[in-house]
Amino acid sequence: MDFNLGEEEKMLQKAIRDFAGKEIAPIVDEYEEKEEFPVEVARKLGKLGYLWPSAPVEYGGAGMSKICDAIVREETARVCAGIAQCLGPDIAPDIIRRHGNEEQKRKYLVPTITGEKIGAYGLTEPDAGSDAASIKTTAVRRDEYYIVNGDKCFITRGNICDYVTLMAMTDKSKGYRGMSCMIVDRGTPNFSSTKLHKMGIHSSDPATLAFQDSPVPVGNLVGEEG
C-alpha cells in the first residue's frame, strides 16, 4: 500500500495550507474568544470548491478522493481545531447524498457543497448518544406533516445551520427500526437552538436543539420511514 500523496493531493494540500494561513489564522483568537464559528470561512472554501472535495461532480463537487477530504480537515486543524471541526464533509449532507431524492439533493446538497448552506446532524440526546436506539424524539404523521417533539444536544453547527438532518422515532414499537430521518429547516415553527459552552475548541459552536410540536413536511423525509 502506498501512503504517499499523489500530485493532485499535494496540490490540494498546498492550496488548503495557504488558505488556512491567510483566511483562518488571523481570526482564530477572535472566534475562540467569541465561541463562534466564522461562517464566512465555509463560504469561501465552498466557492473555491474545497469545502467537500469528494462531493459528486453532478452536484457541484470536484469528485476527488476521500483522502482529499481528510487533507482539508488536517490542514485547517493545523491552524485551529475548533474551526476545522465545522468544515469539510459531514454526516448531514452525506445522508442526503446517499438516500435523498433528486429534489432534496438540489435543494440541500448542492448549496451545502458550495458553502451557501450549512447543515447539522441531529442524533445525540441527553439520554442517547452511542446508543442511538434510545432516542426519545418523536415524529408523528398528521396529514402532510410530521409533528416533531424532542431535544437534541451537543449538535455541531446547531446554532448556525440552515437545516438539520434529524433522527426521530416514527414508530417506537419497532425499536431502532422505527427510526427515520427528515430534514428540518431553520425557521420551522417551534424549533429553537441554544449555544453550549465548552472547555476547549470553542469555535466549533455546538448547541442544544428543541422541538415542540414542530411541523415538518412529509416531503422532507429522507428515504423511507424506518
DSSP of 137-203, one letter per residue? -EEEEETTEEEEEEEEEEEETTTT-SEEEEEEES-GGGGGGGEEEEEEETT-TTEEEEE---SS-GG
The set of catalytic residues is: 90
pLDDT of residue 88: 67
pLDDT of residue 70: 93
Query: What value does the mean pLDDT of the chain take?
Result: 93
pLDDT in tens, 159-189: 999 999 999 999 988 988 999 999 999 999 9
Asked if the model's pLDDT at residue 4 lies above 80, the reply is: yes
Asked if the model's pLDDT at residue 205 lies above 70, the reply is: yes
pLDDT of residue 89: 64
219 vs 130, residue with greater confidence: 219
Amino acid at residue number 20: A
Contacts with 165 (C-beta within 8 Å, 6 or more apart), sequence order: 91, 92, 93, 95, 96, 119, 120, 121, 122, 181, 182, 183, 222
Query: What value does the mean pLDDT take over residues 69-98?
Result: 91
What structural domains and CATH numbers belong to the chain?
7-89 (1.10.540.10), 119-222 (2.40.110.10)
pLDDT of residue 27: 97
Query: What value does the mean pLDDT take over residues 178-207?
Result: 93
pLDDT of residue 127: 85
Asked if the model's pLDDT at residue 91 lies above 70, the reply is: yes
Write out the three cell numbers for 225: 420511514
The model's pTM = 0.91
Alpha carbon 164 to its chain centroid, in Å, reads 7
Query: What value does the mean pLDDT take over residues 149-167?
Result: 95
CA distance 10 to 62: 15
Amino acid at residue number 94: D
pLDDT in tens, 93-134: 999 999 999 999 999 999 999 999 999 999 999 988 778 888
Asked if the model's pLDDT at residue 219 lies above 70, the reply is: yes
Quick check: 172 and 165 in contact, CB under 8 A?
A: no
